[in-house]
């Protein structure tokens, strides 16, 4: 493990899937961590194992309201990230991305903290370039069902760069592609969590469209590693930078792989494709490779096996 100077670090959305793994890694590095979450999609169960650590503090707070704490760094991860959750209250989703960014940037400006924005591959919309490089400006429907998230995250990026230019803030912006692993929300409507839960329960595997649309999937440990490398990098590099696994699979291939690994008898059931669902989504990660000497290490078979074990345990404990 790299030796780093201990800091006080704020993680918004810290009780969520990615946030809880990030808090865990930062504590392992010896930092003091303030985990902030309103628990709309985050869950305190994800951080129960951290509660006894004297360097860990949990705060129930909504980032759309100002926050006054003293910190050295901020990771801004707060926002529902799956369609089923961010479409539940689209106005609040936009507020979380935009007002949340304004409040966290204001905090960073006041305490002179370095700040990381967890942006998303959704800023590329339904891409016309494949794979997607950082210089691609995207193909986003500004008034569609997904736009509360897509445009909210695009606006947050705008705010980060304007605060950097106008106030000299130290910023880092990463565009996160599909990520999976233990502590995913079991009912977040995402491909891998959906397929695993359905397969373990013997229910039909629901594939939208004909299953030919493609995605890439990055295991959570790989993603957290590069997030921390980005934050630790020098001030001259701000991003945006794509982070994800460039291995590309069709949705149907993922469904078949999950059925195989779970030894399930679940049939595959096809349904209509949702509005504005991207046909292709895959990161060009050459910039991350060059800047951080980073390459995803966990292959799909190993990552899926670990994620299936997590959901099997949840089901056996009747927690879902």
Q: Is 162 left (phi over 0), alpha (psi -120 to 50) or beta?
A: alpha
Parallel, antiparallel, or unpaired: how do β-strands 32-37 and 8-12 relate?
Answer: parallel
Structure tokens at 248: 């590309």
Could you give the percent of the chain with pLDDT greater than 90?
79
Asked whether the predicted pLDDT for residue 2 surpasses 60, the reply is: no
The answer, yes or no, to whether residue 272 has pLDDT greater than 90, is: no
Q: Say if residue 229's pLDDT is above 90.
A: yes
- Per-residue pLDDT at 80: 82
Cα(230)–Cα(227) distance, integer angstroms? 5
Asked if the model's pLDDT at residue 178 lies above 70, the reply is yes
Could you tell me the fold of the domain covering 8-316?
Rossmann fold (3.40.50)
Domain boundaries, the chain: 8-316
47: pLDDT strictly greater than 90? yes
Among 161, 6, 13, 14, residue whose Cα is nearest residue 72: 6
Residue-wise pLDDT tens digits, 106-155: 999 999 999 999 999 999 998 898 899 999 999 999 998 888 889 999 99
Burial class (CB in 10 A: 0-12, 13-18, 19+), 239: buried
pLDDT at position 283 over 60: yes
108: Cα separation from own chain's centroid? 21
Q: Where are the alpha helices (DSSP H) in the chain?
A: 17-28, 83-86, 90-111, 147-167, 191-201, 220-232, 251-262, 286-292, 300-316
Active site residue 180: no
> What per-residue confidence (pLDDT) applies to 83?
74
What pLDDT shows up at residue 291?
A: 96
CA distance 179 to 37: 20
pLDDT of residue 25: 98
* DSSP output for 72-106: SEEEE--S--SHHHHTTSHHHHHHHHHHHHHHHHH
Share of the chain above pLDDT 70, in %: 96
Instruction: Report the C-alpha gap between 176 and 149 in whole angstroms.
Output: 13
pLDDT of residue 4: 63
State the chain's maximal CA–CA distance in angstroms: 58
End-to-end CA distance of the chain: 35
> Please, what is the average pLDDT of the chain?
93
Which residue out of 75, 86, 124, 149 is catalytically annotated? Answer: 149
| pTM (predicted TM-score) | 0.92
Output the pLDDT for position 3: 55
Residue 104 has pLDDT above 90, yes or no: yes
In this prediction, residue 316 carries a pLDDT of 86
> pLDDT value at position 5?
82
Token code pair at residue 268: 């595959």
- Does pLDDT of 275 surpass 80? no
pLDDT at 78: 95
What pLDDT is recorded for position 117?
98
pLDDT tens for residues 17-27?
A: 999 999 999 99
Q: Which pLDDT band holds residue 81 (cuts at 50, 70, 90)?
A: confident
Bridging pattern class, strands 114-120 and 218-219: unpaired
pLDDT at 112: 97
Checking if the pLDDT of 1 tops 60, the result is no
């Amino acid at each position: 493990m790299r030796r780093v100077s201990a800091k006080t670090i704020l993680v918004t959305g810290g009780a969520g899937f990615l946030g809880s793994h990030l808090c865990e890694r930062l504590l392992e590095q010896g930092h003091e961590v303030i985990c902030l979450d309103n628990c709309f999609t985050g869950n305190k169960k994800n951080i129960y194992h951290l509660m006894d650590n004297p360097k860990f503090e949990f705060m129930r707070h909504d980032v759309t309201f100002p926050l006054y704490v003293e910190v050295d760094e901020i990771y801004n991860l707060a926002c529902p990230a799956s369609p089923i959750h961010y479409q539940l209250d689209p106005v609040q989703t936009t507020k979380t991305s935009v007002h949340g960014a304004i409040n966290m940037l204001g905090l960073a400006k006041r305490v002179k903290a370095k700040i990381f924005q967890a942006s998303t591959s959704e800023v590329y919309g339904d891409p016309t370039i494949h794979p997607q490089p950082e210089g691609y400006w995207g193909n986003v429907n500004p008034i569609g069902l997904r736009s509360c998230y897509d445009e909210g995250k695009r606006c947050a990026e705008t705010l980060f760069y304007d605060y950097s230019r106008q106030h000299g803030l130290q910023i880092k912006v990463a565009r996160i592609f599909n990520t999976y692993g233990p502590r995913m929300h079991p009912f977040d409507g995402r491909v891998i969590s959906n397929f695993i839960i359905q397969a373990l329960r013997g229910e039909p595997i629901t594939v939208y469209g004909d299953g030919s649309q493609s995605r890439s999937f990055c295991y959570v440990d790989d993603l957290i590693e590069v997030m921390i490398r980005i934050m630790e990098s020098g001030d001259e590099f701000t991003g945006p930078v794509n982070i994800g696994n460039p291995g590309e699979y069709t949705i149907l291939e993922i469904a078949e792989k999950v059925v195989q690994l779970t030894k399930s008898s679940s049939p595959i059931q096809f349904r209509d494709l949702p509005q504005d669902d991207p046909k292709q989504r895959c990161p060009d990660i050459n910039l991350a490779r060059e800047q951080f000497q980073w390459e995803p290490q966990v292959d799909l078979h190993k990552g899926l096996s670990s994620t299936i074990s997590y959901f099997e345990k949840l089901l056996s404990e009747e927690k879902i």
